[in-house]
Structure 1
Amino acid sequence: MTNQAETNSKAQAEPTVARNAFGDVAPALADYTDRILFGEVWARPGLSPRERSLITVASLVALYRGNELPFHLGKALDNGVSRDELIELITHLAFYSGWPTASTALAVARQVFASRDA
């Protein structure tokens, strides 16, 4: 039987998106991202992972956060959001967050979709 320290040690050794992206320069932030954001916040009851993905993608598009968008578009697809729904979300946001945010998000979506089709 493993104890909590062994479980934590194994989890810390596994590469994650956060660890790969910035764990070398900010290991504490990578740990908080893995444990708190994805381990606790995304696991809370009240919203499904699909709903959380829609909210997150909409926020990233509206805030013009292109660096985080590819990961979260992929996560949205993994959580059951369709490509058509993502495109509709981006189209809808063009009227609220502006054409530059929407056109940038569409270019990112095109890349994410193409990488999934390859």
Structure 2
Amino acid sequence: MADVVRPSDRFRQGMATRRRVLGDAHVDRASGSATPFDQPFQEMITEGAWGTVWSRPGISPRERSMITIALLAALGHDEEVAMHVRATVNTGASREDITEALMHVAVYAGVPAANRAFKIAKHVFDRIDAGETGGGSHD
């Protein structure tokens, strides 16, 4: 009989935070599409990103959203920018907050990076305003 591996406390905390920020539908899609090949990656990001960084006290989910979107935009990770812009409906970051974060991207990471991220955010907000949900990366 195979050993059953129980999730760590950090994994459980990470999954709760991940669901609170990204929503059950997104997390269910990402978890449901995991294979033996990428399951270790899903576990690592759940524990590391969501169970450690996103679950830390000290700054709010709103502030974490702003920081995350700015970093992802600066690095050119378009799908992740879109996913985290969608998540702002759960974190409390306003459209004005995202504008301010992307203004910082323009100054510190370059106008082309900010321009691309503004286009992505506008598209996401248009979809949200139209009542559409879903899609995006498997993070």
**Which of the five TM-score ranges fits, normalised by the shorter chain?**
0.7 to 0.9
Q: Given residue 65 of structure 2, which amino acid in structure 1 is its aligned partner?
A: S
What SS is found at the alignment partner of 2:78? coil
Partner Cα distance (1:97, 1:35) in 2: 29
Correspondence for 1:107: 119
Kindly report which structure 2 residues correspond to 1:1-118, keeping only aligned pairs within 5 A, or say none.
Answer: 5=6, 16=27, 18-19=30-31, 23-24=34-35, 25-118=37-130
Aligned residues, how many?
110
Q: Given residue 85 of structure 2, which amino acid in structure 1 is its aligned partner?
A: L
- What CA deviation, in whole Å up to 9, does each residue of 1:11-60 have, x standing for no partner? 7xx8725435x623411101222233213321111122111111111111
CA RMSD, Structure 1 to Structure 2 (Å): 2.8
TM-score where L is the length of structure 2: 0.66
For residue 5 of structure 1, report the CA deviation from its aligned partner.
4.2
**Runs of 4+, deviation exceeding 3 Å:** none
- What CA deviation, in whole Å up to 9, does each residue of 1:41-82 have, x standing for no partner? 211111221111111111111111112111111223421111
Structure ranking higher on relative contact order (CA contacts 8 Å, 6+ apart)? 2
Equivalent pairs: percent with the same residue?
Answer: 34
Structure 2 gap ranges (5+): 10-14, 16-23, 131-139
Partner Cα distance (1:37, 1:106) in 2: 24
Partner Cα distance (1:40, 1:117) in 2: 32
